[in-house]
């Protein structure tokens, strides 16, 4: 629908279409089509500015900040939020100012800057045991992310359970998925792996038909082992491969000779040796009597452990480390 509203080729683009551009940009961001998302967000903001539609400009800047954050361009994300904050000041709407401050905190968490979290919590009087209030939901989810990042997962389990139930009751599936992802990470951190896997599987069940990607990628590498457990059950294989590829692209860094390498499993060594022989995935699957999807999962695990992005890099890196 958003795309149809933005592609009316028989008439000029007008400010009334700005909301459709921003909506499409947000959908594309969640699908991880970031360059296309950025283009639509910028166009939507421009149209809204032409029409003097301040609320759409503000929302568009928030969406654009999320796109830049996903791209790893934190300076541009900060600039977009600053533009949104300027619009909010002109509108003088208190709850919008609070939301924007929370988006800025979330950006700092993504950057690994946790120093301002406690001050923000005190200023907003946020409590882990407070009753659910829809107006505070964004802040409470951000608080849960912060505590997990600070290594205090045990503090947020009950909060995330309440948030999940409230979102489920209201039919807000995107929020349910996000809460499940965070809850799975917290449970896994606490050693409750079976429950964590079950919770994440529920999130995948809900998310795959809708094409969610960024909710998982934004959670980071903590999801990788849980996704691996689910893939090992033969569930959501194609979807998990998509998520793992996106996670690798987000997190990968240049090969460093002195970076410790996580141990490969015996099966991963077998797959790696066959990759070095330039065998295709179906050929490897036939050789090892496993499914092609399982080969993909092993290959992605190899990429992650060797800190590479392709077969050729994996083979070269393995030879440098004398693994093959």
Percent of the chain with pLDDT over 90: 58
User: Is residue 42 predicted with pLDDT exceeding 80?
Assistant: yes
pLDDT interval class at 74 (50, 70, 90): very high
Q: What is the separation of C-alpha 281 from the centre of its chain, rounded to a whole number of angstroms?
A: 27
Determine the pLDDT at residue 260: 45
Q: Under a CB-based contact definition with an 8 Å cutoff, are residues 51 and 14 in contact?
A: yes
Of 324 and 42, more confident: 42
pLDDT interval class at 317 (50, 70, 90): confident
User: Is residue 37 predicted with pLDDT exceeding 90?
Assistant: yes
For residues 274 and 118, what is the distance between their CA atoms, to the nearest angstrom? 50
- Which whole-number Å values give the CA distances from 149 to 156, 241, 303, in the listed order? 11, 25, 25
User: Is residue 94 predicted with pLDDT exceeding 80?
Assistant: no
- As a residue count, the chain comes to 324
Give φ, ψ of 124 to 5 degrees.
Answer: -95, 0
What letter would DSSP give residue 130? P
pLDDT interval class at 92 (50, 70, 90): low
Tens digits of residue pLDDT in 159-194: 999 999 999 999 999 999 999 999 999 999 999 999
pLDDT interval class at 12 (50, 70, 90): low
> For the chain, which residues make up each domain, given as ranges?
122-234
The three-class DSSP label of residue 224 is helix
Determine the pLDDT at residue 255: 33
Determine the pLDDT at residue 254: 33
pLDDT interval class at 293 (50, 70, 90): confident
Q: Under a CB-based contact definition with an 8 Å cutoff, are residues 2 and 20 in contact?
A: yes
Percent of the chain with pLDDT over 70: 90
Least confident window among 36-40, 64-68, 275-279: 275-279
Average pLDDT over residues 124-141: 91
For residues 133 and 309, what is the distance between their CA atoms, to the nearest angstrom? 43
For residues 90 and 99, what is the distance between their CA atoms, to the nearest angstrom? 15
For residues 198 and 179, what is the distance between their CA atoms, to the nearest angstrom? 13
Helices (H), the chain: 2-6, 18-30, 34-51, 54-71, 74-91, 94-111, 117-124, 137-149, 157-170, 173-189, 193-207, 214-217, 224-232, 237-251, 266-276, 281-288, 292-306, 311-320
Average pLDDT over residues 140-165: 95
Closest CA to 78 of 55, 95, 61: 61
Determine the pLDDT at residue 308: 81
Of 149 and 88, more confident: 149
CB under 8 A, 24+ apart: contacts of 84-87: 84/57, 84/58, 84/59, 87/54, 87/55, 87/57, 87/58, 87/61
Q: What is the DSSP string of 52-120?
A: T-HHHHHHHHHHHHHHHHHHT-HHHHHHHHHHHHHHHHHHT-HHHHHHHHHHHHHHHHHHT--TTHHHH
Q: What is the separation of C-alpha 64 from the centre of its chain, rounded to a whole number of angstroms?
A: 15
Determine the pLDDT at residue 251: 54
Tens digits of residue pLDDT in 235-256: 998 899 889 888 876 654 333 3
Q: CB-based contacts of 70: which residues, under 8 Å, 6+ apart?
A: 29, 32, 34, 214, 217, 218, 250
Tens digits of residue pLDDT in 252-281: 433 333 434 567 888 888 899 888 888 888
pLDDT interval class at 151 (50, 70, 90): very high
Q: CB-based contacts of 279: which residues, under 8 Å, 6+ apart?
A: 287
User: Is residue 323 predicted with pLDDT exceeding 60?
Assistant: yes
Give me the CATH code for the 122-234 domain, please: 1.25.40.10
User: Is residue 114 predicted with pLDDT exceeding 80?
Assistant: yes
Average pLDDT over the chain reads 88
Of 277 and 82, more confident: 82
Determine the pLDDT at residue 2: 54
């Amino acid at each position: 629908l958003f795309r149809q509203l933005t592609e009316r080729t028989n008439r000029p683009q007008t400010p009334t279409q700005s909301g459709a551009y921003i909506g499409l940009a947000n959908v594309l961001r969640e699908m991880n089509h970031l360059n296309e998302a950025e283009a639509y967000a910028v166009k939507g903001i421009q149209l809204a500015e032409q029409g003097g539609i301040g609320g759409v400009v503000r929302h568009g800047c928030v969406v654009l900040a999320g796109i830049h954050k996903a791209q790893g361009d934190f300076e541009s994300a900060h600039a977009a939020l600053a533009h949104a904050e300027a619009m909010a000041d002109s509108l003088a709407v208190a709850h919008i100012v609070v939301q924007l401050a929370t988006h800025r905190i979330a950006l700092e968490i993504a950057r690994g800057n946790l120093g301002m979290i406690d001050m923000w919590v005190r200023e907003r009087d946020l409590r882990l045991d407070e009753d659910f209030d829809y107006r505070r939901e964004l802040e409470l989810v951000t608080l849960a992310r912060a505590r997990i990042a600070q290594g205090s997962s045990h503090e947020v389990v009950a909060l995330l359970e309440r948030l999940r139930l409230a979102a489920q009751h209201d039919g807000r599936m995107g929020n349910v998925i996000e809460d499940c992802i965070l809850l799975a990470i917290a449970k896994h951190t606490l050693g409750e792996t079976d429950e964590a896997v079950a919770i994440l599987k529920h999130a995948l069940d809900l998310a795959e038909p809708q094409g969610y990607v960024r909710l998982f990628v934004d959670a980071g590498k903590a999801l990788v082992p849980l996704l691996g457990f689910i893939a090992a059950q033969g569930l959501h294989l194609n979807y998990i491969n998509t998520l793992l590829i996106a996670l690798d692209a987000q997190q990968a860094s240049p090969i460093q000779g002195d970076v410790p390498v996580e141990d490969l499993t015996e099966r991963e060594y077998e797959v790696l040796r066959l990759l070095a022989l330039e065998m295709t995935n179906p050929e490897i699957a036939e050789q090892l009597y496993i499914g092609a999807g399982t080969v993909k999962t092993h290959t992605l695990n190899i990429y992650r452990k060797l800190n590479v992005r392709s077969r050729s890099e994996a083979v070269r890196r393995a030879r440098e480390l004398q693994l093959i």
